[in-house]
Structure 1
Amino acid sequence: MQKITTFLTFNDKAEEAATLYTSLFKDSRITKVTRYPEGTPMPAGTVMTVEFELAGQKYVALNGGPHFTFTEGFSLSVGCADQAEIDYLWEHLTANGGAPGDCGWLKDPFGVSWQINPVNMSQLLSGTDPAQSQRKMAAMMQMHKIDIAALEQA
């Protein structure tokens, strides 16, 4: 049983976000949707929470109103197996209002920050030659989406 669950609070797009996220990762699904009852701060019948799993991990998304926002101080980090997975996630998470960031970071259309990096990122950036490690780090600092081949060549 998972002891800690990530809880994401959206203005009013919790269900849309969960639907996008679960469409992108294997072993993912929406498990429960609850709605606001009468007499609450949000309109009765609108989505209150969405419980979902991404790659087997549990999350909860809440529609809490416009005073809740996301910052870059919180991100979801994904270790990708290869460039194709990086490209796929980057394309889908930056579409429809998402925005690329630097060094493998992006914001999705809902304002959530993601880090989309190869699972072996630390190995790609390190090595026994300090000059090569500096070149790799300098190359990464110029990237938005991580380019594995370019890091390997640096």
Structure 2
Amino acid sequence: MKTTVTPFLMFEGKAEEAMTLYVSAIPDSKVVDIKRYGPEGPGAEGSIVVARFVLAGQPVFCIDSHVKHAFTFTPANSLFVTCASEEELDRIAAVLADGGQWLMPIGNYGFSRKFGWFNDRYGVSWQVNWE
């Protein structure tokens, strides 16, 4: 087995909903597998122990934590999406930013022709870029 680095997203009950949204928005993405809690817990039955999915070739893990934590997602860590076209950027941003909060609205900031940064409705931070 080789050493790998994989983003890992911890949700509190919204992992499957978020994963489904991400896979629907990003081209060449899919859910690989899901392991769920059963009636014995310790998480809510049907919630995600661990799931693997792929976003445009990048493997990602996610879970539903049954433990409440004093922290959540922060923009200090984000998923950076380099888009194939301006139209793709607009579509991805429209889907993922819906119900979230813009940190940098889509625009030309001098380092790329079109860039935007937002937190989605689950608190995960995304940067979208078209060079």
- The TM-score, its normalising length taken from structure 2, stands at 0.80
Aligned length in residues? 118
Cα distance, 1:2–1:86 mapped onto 2, change above 3 Å: farther
Query: What is the alpha-carbon distance in structure 2 between the residues aligned to residue 92 and residue 45 of structure 1?
Result: 26
Query: What is the alpha-carbon distance in structure 1 between the residues aligned to residue 16 and residue 3 of structure 2?
Result: 22
* 1:92 and 2:104 matched: no
Structure with more relative contact order (C-alpha pairs < 8 Å, separation 6 or more): 2
Query: What is the alpha-carbon distance in structure 2 between the residues aligned to residue 88 and residue 40 of structure 1?
Result: 38
Query: What is the alpha-carbon distance in structure 2 between the residues aligned to residue 90 and residue 84 of structure 1?
Result: 10
Query: What is the alpha-carbon distance in structure 2 between the residues aligned to residue 114 and residue 36 of structure 1?
Result: 29
Matches within 5 A, 1:10-89: 10-65=11-66, 66-67=68-69, 68-89=71-92
Query: What is the alpha-carbon distance in structure 2 between the residues aligned to residue 13 and residue 45 of structure 1?
Result: 11
Would you say the 8 A contact 1:11–1:69 is kept in 2?
no
Q: Which residue of 2 aligns with 1:101?
A: 103
Alpha-carbon RMSD across the aligned residues, in angstroms, is: 1.9
Cα distance, 1:2–1:78 mapped onto 2, change above 3 Å: farther
Supply the AA of the counterpart residue of 2:123.
G
- The TM-score, its normalising length taken from structure 1, stands at 0.69
State the Cα deviation string for residues 55-104 of structure 1 (Å, max 9, x = none). 11111110014425101111000112232112111110111x21222151
State the secondary structure of the residue aligned to 1:42: coil
Which has the greater radius of gyration?
1
Would you say the 8 A contact 1:14–1:49 is kept in 2?
no
Query: What is the alpha-carbon distance in structure 2 between the residues aligned to residue 81 and residue 108 of structure 1?
Result: 21
Query: What is the alpha-carbon distance in structure 2 between the residues aligned to residue 35 and residue 7 of structure 1?
Result: 16
5+ long unaligned stretches in structure 2: 106-115
State the secondary structure of the residue aligned to 2:122: coil
Name the one with the larger strand percent.
Answer: 2
